[in-house]
């Protein structure tokens, strides 16, 4: 991976992380098309640049994150992230092979697109208009929905937003809670990838931070990628919230369906492995 590849992936991450279109799916496909999908550092990079996206949420919603007297807010996030931590720990070995499968991504994108076409009509009744009204059990249920995003192509934000709407959150409340929930979820995934997971290239086992620090190119890509992801994610979040309040999810559903059809065509043409 060179610096140009890093910036392209970071733009994709920033644009898609908080939209219901699957950032993981988009980055995996992008790395395939760039010809860097088998690179050990690429797989690490795709997770580690989530730090930039996390920071975008904290900066945009800094009042909520640093209003310490609202201790219930932090408890809700902890409760919401528990299902992902448990399932991630128990099934990480089974999840990793799915990340190598463009076909899994295409199927998930298509099915998710169909669901988004109808989700606005499915959950018309909404009674929760602020995050203060979100109860601890509802936060846990949304966290369970988020677990679905461990299948590449499903979309973490999409699954958790639908989970919120199913719990009668208004669309923008469901979206914002999805953003908040992303912070501990993605932070845990990034820390695991950098400091706990053992990366094996066939010759030596190393931690993620050791791979980043082993040469100047990796370090430069890591820093530049997080800066770009931060800037692009801030713009994407502002756009998404404003768009969602007015128009809903249908456009994202059509996007996912079209993207899935294009991906199937690329797979069947032999450009990408099944």
Q: What is the mean pLDDT of residues 160-177?
A: 94
Give me the percent of the chain exceeding a pLDDT of 90.
57
The rounded mean pLDDT for the chain is 90
Give me the percent of the chain exceeding a pLDDT of 70.
95
Who contacts 46 (Cβ-Cβ below 8 Å, separation ≥6)?
9, 13, 24, 27, 28, 31
Q: How far is CA 155 from CA 111, 166, 252, in A?
A: 11, 16, 12
| Model confidence band, residue 160 (pLDDT cutoffs 50, 70, 90) | very high
Task: Assess contact for 34 and 3: CB atoms under 8 A.
Answer: no
pLDDT over 90 (residue 145): yes
* Eight-state DSSP code of residue 60: H
CA 56, CA 62: separation in Å to the nearest integer? 10
Who contacts 121 (Cβ-Cβ below 8 Å, separation ≥6)?
none
Task: Assess contact for 180 and 130: CB atoms under 8 A.
Answer: no
For residue range 214-271, list pLDDT tens digits in order: 889 999 999 999 999 999 999 999 999 999 888 999 999 999 999 999 999 988 887 7
For residue range 68-111, list pLDDT tens digits in order: 888 999 999 999 999 999 988 787 767 766 666 788 889 999 99
The reported pTM is 0.90
| Model confidence band, residue 202 (pLDDT cutoffs 50, 70, 90) | low
* Eight-state DSSP code of residue 128: B
Who contacts 85 (Cβ-Cβ below 8 Å, separation ≥6)?
188
Q: Look up residue 84 and give its two tokens.
A: 């992902």
Q: How far is CA 5 from CA 9, 92, 101, 263, in A?
A: 6, 27, 21, 20
Q: What is the mean pLDDT of residues 118-123?
A: 91
Q: What is the DSSP string of 186-239?
A: HHHHHHIIIIIPEEE-SS-EEEHHHHHHTSHHHHHHHHHHHHHHHHHHHHHHHH
| Helical residues (DSSP H) of the chain, grouped into ranges | 3-16, 23-34, 40-48, 50-60, 62-65, 71-98, 102-122, 136-146, 156-166, 171-191, 208-213, 216-247, 250-268
CA proximity to 108, closest of 28, 192, 15, 189: 28
Please state the separation of Cα 196 from the chain's center in Å: 20
């Amino acid at each position: 991976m060179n610096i140009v590849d890093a910036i392209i992936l970071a733009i994709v991450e920033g644009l898609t992380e908080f939209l219901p279109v699957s950032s993981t799916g988009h980055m995996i496909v992008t790395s395939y098309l760039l010809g860097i999908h088998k690179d050990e550092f690429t797989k690490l990079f795709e997770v580690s640049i989530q730090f930039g996206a996390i920071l975008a949420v904290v900066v945009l919603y800094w009042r909520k994150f640093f209003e310490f007297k609202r201790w219930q807010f932090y408890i809700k996030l902890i409760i919401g992230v528990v299902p992902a931590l448990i399932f991630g720990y128990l099934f990480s070995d089974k999840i990793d092979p799915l990340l190598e499968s463009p076909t899994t991504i295409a199927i998930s994108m298509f099915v998710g697109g169909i669901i988004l076409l109808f989700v606005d009509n499915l959950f018309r009744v909404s009674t929760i208009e602020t995050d203060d009204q979100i109860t601890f059990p509802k936060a846990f249920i949304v966290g369970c929905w988020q677990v679905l995003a461990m299948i590449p192509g499903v979309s973490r934000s999409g699954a958790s937003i639908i989970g919120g709407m199913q719990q009668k959150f208004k669309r923008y409340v469901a979206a914002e809670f999805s953003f908040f929930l992303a912070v501990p979820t993605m932070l845990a995934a990034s820390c695991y990838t950098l400091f706990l997971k053992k990366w094996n290239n066939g010759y030596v086992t190393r931690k993620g931070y050791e791979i980043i620090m082993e040469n100047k190119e990796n370090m430069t890509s890591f820093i530049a990628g997080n800066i770009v992801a931060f800037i692009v994610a801030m713009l994407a979040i502002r756009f998404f919230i404003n768009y969602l309040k007015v128009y809903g999810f249908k456009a994202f559903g059509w996007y996912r369906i079209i993207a899935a059809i294009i991906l199937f065509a690329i797979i069947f043409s032999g450009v990408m492995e099944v």
